Chains A and B, each alone.
Chain A
Amino acid sequence: MQTPDFKGTHLFDRLCWAKENLDGVQSDYRVVYEDSIDECAKILVPDPNWMACALQGGILPPVWVYWELAKDEAQPDFKKHTRGYLLHQTEPVGPMTEEEAIEYLIQKDVPQHVWKTWNEGNKPKMVICRKEQLPSTREWRNAWKIAEHIEATDLAA
């Protein structure tokens, strides 16, 4: 199905169109990351409707738009967004592969200090894996950590 020309269309309206016209895509990819040494590993799970939008193209704004809004929100005097138009008026990005969509999602929903320095330190702070590679039950969930022995070369394979 062809995506309508959504340039300038409110992002919420684009999502309404996608919900009505696209089937959700359940991704098997998961992003495991640690943003604090005092906390267990966190698992990022892509939303199936969002993934459908990413694969379709012409719906989602470029990821830098979210960074700009996050910068605004980080200001101490932030009350409300005044640059929300960036979400709606910036030309949407084209279709992505599932892997490209995961990269986009990492840059959107994983803290920047994690993905910008994921491979600095004694062990990787972030790993992309298949859901089958996670523990099969949630027992001891609060003790889950990225394994110490993972090497960057394993991650690239």
Chain B
Amino acid sequence: MAGKIVADTLEHSTAGSIATNYVVEGSAKVWTTFNGQSATITTTDSFNESSLTDTGTGRYAVNFTNNMGNTGYAITGALGSSDASYGAGWFNTGNAHSSFGHTVSNTTSSHRISQAHAVTAGNIDYTDVHSLVHGDLA
């Protein structure tokens, strides 16, 4: 590919150097932001996502274009709503667990999201759903 630079280390004139594998290892491999409250959910913006699956109230799957190398990746999430009555919410990800509403586990090609109201613990749709994946690519 044009413009390719191969380097193992980046060095700053005064602040020292850093191995480029820190950059590669530390970069998010998948991210997405979507509205989970619209009738048909729609991705606002994303990277390395092929599709979203709406699996029920407050439950979704994020499907990847470039698989992760294993299922030991880390997922970070955030929820938001313009409706103050929604209050705090839980962002659950991960493996099959009936209380989270998941019936299947995360794979190298997709991860699950289940969001719940922090007080009632019931699954609920938030308007702003954000998800970030760090780990090794296949």
Main secondary structure of the interface of B (DSSP, over half): loop
A45 touches B39 (CB 8 A): no
Residues of A within 8 A of B18 (CB): none
**Do most interface residues of chain A lie in helix, strand or loop, or is the interface mixed?**
mixed
Contacting pair A109 B53 (CB below 8 A)? yes
Given A9-B1, A81-B69, A142-B57; A50-B50 close (CB under 8 Å): yes
When chains A and B are docked, how far (Å) is the Cα of A70 from the Cα of B68? 12
A12 touches B69 (CB 8 A): no
Q: Is the CB of A48 within 8 A of B43?
A: yes
User: Is A134's CB under 8 angstroms from B66's CB?
Assistant: no
Give the CA-CA distance A131 to B38 in the complex, in Å.
11
Name the one of B2, B37, B38, B54 contacting A42, with C-beta atoms under 8 angstroms.
B54
Of residues A9, A42, A137, A138, which shows the largest number of chain B Cβ atoms within 10 Å of its Cβ? A138
B binding-site residues for A, Cβ under 8 Å: 1-2, 29, 32, 37-43, 45-57, 63, 65-67, 69-70, 103, 107-110, 125, 136-138
Q: Contacts A60-B65, A69-B108, A80-B69 known; list 8 others, CB within 8 Å.
A: A42-B55, A44-B51, A45-B52, A45-B53, A47-B32, A47-B43, A50-B49, A66-B109
